[in-house]
Structure 1
């Protein structure tokens, strides 16, 4: 059995610099090792460097290796580790952050185990089912009259429980409760927006009906009580949310999205409405069916 060492546990501080060959090296500055970490290593252990090839989703993606920023750009990044004990297992964690559009920032993390001296390929172009991508969406308000159209499309009525990832200032949830919804829940990643939404809920005197949660709408969230889900979050976010909704939502639950679809999950209805501002808006409706609910 090989013992596994992460770059951190191995006592390495990673710094990135460029070599004339074009390959980027990960240089190390030795740090004092704990006695128990030093036991397995012998002075005559054979050591070698490993070459790392990292594939990233976008040419200008920001790449971190073991939490350290790197400078190269392009779809493929190449690096070289410090000398490692040949045959021992190591683990490096890679993180890529990129912007597929001007309102979405995605971060993907992948940890790769490898033996010292072996070349490594880390493919960050594909999502890792064991480590879900993180999405940060720039909030853009939906006009009040279009919010009303979304609520009509979703048939929001008395007794409904309405969930909204990324509620921003809370306007959709407030409008839903005004329409008769018994409960509204918003999950907001931005602390400032979460506070703004709470203040607006307080001003509307709906503190008993509406709860604003500060946190990640994609992480450890339970949407199972929702009868309506309102979305204006972007295609990428919707794709990440889809498996959660398919697994948790009850048949009959309505999902209404302003503009963006949910991957290849075809909406049951799509309408176009002209707003008070003269612009045209596209709204989509899905109704969860038994066959779409994954066990």
Structure 2
């Protein structure tokens, strides 16, 4: 089934949490989107979107469209409210859905802040469904033996956060 504006889905599998909810710091969000070189031409998917801050920031700063997906209905409600408050709800959508069932092919940028094992579970799906030129950006965790195209890091007063980019 395909829905409006290039947001697609595939048949359902049982829902499985791929990471706990942990907010991504604004400096990390900005660095992830900058590393992925997001533009107004992009459709940014955030897998495990939490409160929606990655796709909301992509819409606010670059005019990109976005889709945030999360299992937690409370996080989806919060993300929709944040998008409305930001005045960019026409650019972004949020869905409560299992990431493993999501059709990724419409995305030009995919953002992840999941656990290492979850990244590995999604790795083959990302490589097989995304078009050449698509970018994948992760925070803190890589994709095992799949070397990134680029790595950067940002720091706050306490921690340093690695950010990885793969360009297909």
TM-score (normalizing by structure 2): 0.87
Q: How does 1:144-183 map to 2 (within 5 A)?
A: 144-183=26-65
Q: Which runs of 4+ in 1 moved over 3 A?
A: 131-136
Is 1:287 paired with 2:137? Answer: no
Given the superposition, is the C-alpha separation of residues 185 and 133 from structure 1 closer, same or farther in structure 2, using an over 3 Å criterion? closer
The 8 Å contact of residues 273 and 280 in structure 1, kept in 2 or not, is answered as yes
Greater relative CO (CA pairs within 8 A, separation 6+)? 2
- Of the three residues 131, 141, 151, the one matched with 1:250 is 131
Which residue matches 1:218? 100
- The Cα shift of 1:278 comes to 3.9
- The Cα shift of 1:134 comes to 3.2
Which residue matches 1:135? 17
Which residue matches 2:75? 193
Which residue matches 1:271? 152
How far apart in 1 are the matches of 2:14 and 2:88? Answer: 34
User: Which secondary structure state, in structure 2, belongs to the residue aligned with residue 184 of structure 1?
Assistant: strand
User: Which secondary structure state, in structure 1, belongs to the residue aligned with residue 103 of structure 2?
Assistant: coil
Q: CA-to-partner distance for each residue in 1:18-58, whole Å, 9 max, x for gaps? A: xxxxxxxxxxxxxxxxxxxxxxxxxxxxxxxxxxxxxxxxx
- The Cα shift of 1:263 comes to 2.5
Q: 5+ unaligned residues in a row in structure 1: which ranges?
A: 1-130, 289-295
Which residue matches 1:236? 117
Q: CA-to-partner distance for each residue in 1:166-199, whole Å, 9 max, x for gaps? A: 1101111111112224310011101111111111
Report which of the two structures shows the higher radius of gyration computed on alpha carbons.
Answer: 1
The 8 Å contact of residues 17 and 71 in structure 2, kept in 1 or not, is answered as no
How far apart in 1 are the matches of 2:85 and 2:139? Answer: 26
The 8 Å contact of residues 133 and 240 in structure 1, kept in 2 or not, is answered as no
Work out the number of aligned pairs and report it: 156
Given the superposition, is the C-alpha separation of residues 266 and 168 from structure 1 closer, same or farther in structure 2, using an over 3 Å criterion? same
TM-score (normalizing by structure 1): 0.50
The 8 Å contact of residues 156 and 179 in structure 1, kept in 2 or not, is answered as no
